[in-house]
Amino acid sequence: FNLNGADNVTLSSMSLTGSYDGLYLENIDGVTLANLDVYGSGLHGLYVHPSSTNTTITGGAYHDNAHSGIDVRGGSTTITGVEAYNNDNYGIYYYDYGASEVNRWAVISNNTIYGNNTYGLSAYTRASSQYNVSVLVSDNTFYDNYRSAASLRAYYSPVDDWFGMVVTGNNATQS
């Protein structure tokens, strides 16, 4: 299912399965995905192209996909209250591509991420303080992800009360 060039879209309470990317978002400003069940995709359950912004993903499950449950390659994103599990690589993958626009951000919070074959969460930010990009990873629950619960990287040091990534209140267990 591809969405390209649509703005201010809401998809709610749907199941998506069996395509290359369960849902592919490109050139979109303002999309809300609420309580989706996305599974069985040939690559990503959800892929958000770097050209998309202001994405809100809340509730629902992203599971049993060939690569990642959720893969976001841009900024201005909120991922909260989702379950991401049993994906062949990542439960949730976020990478801001060194965002060159001011005030791009991500919030990844209150998610349950488990049973993924690489990392539960992989989050990277390459932006510097001049672009004011921040990533908040908070209050997530991780368990039984094969390699580790999370891989988190901020490539630039904090400057003048700006932090590329803030990590707080997460709970991780491995059995």
pLDDT tens profile 144-168: 999 899 998 877 665 655 567 788 8
Amino acid letter at 47? Answer: Y
Residue 54 · residue 61 · CB < 8 Å? no
Residue 61 · residue 87 · CB < 8 Å? no
CB neighbourhood size of 138 (10 A): 15
Q: What is the mean pLDDT of residues 54-73?
A: 96
Report the distance separating Cα 23 and Cα 167, nearest Å: 28
pTM for the predicted model, two decimal places: 0.92
pLDDT tens profile 5-53: 999 999 999 999 989 999 999 998 999 999 999 999 999 999 999 888 8
User: What pLDDT is stored for residue 163 in this prediction?
Assistant: 65
Percentage of residues in the chain having pLDDT higher than 90: 65
Average pLDDT, the chain: 88
Give the Å distances, CA to CA, from 165 to 77, 81, 161, 168: 14, 20, 12, 10
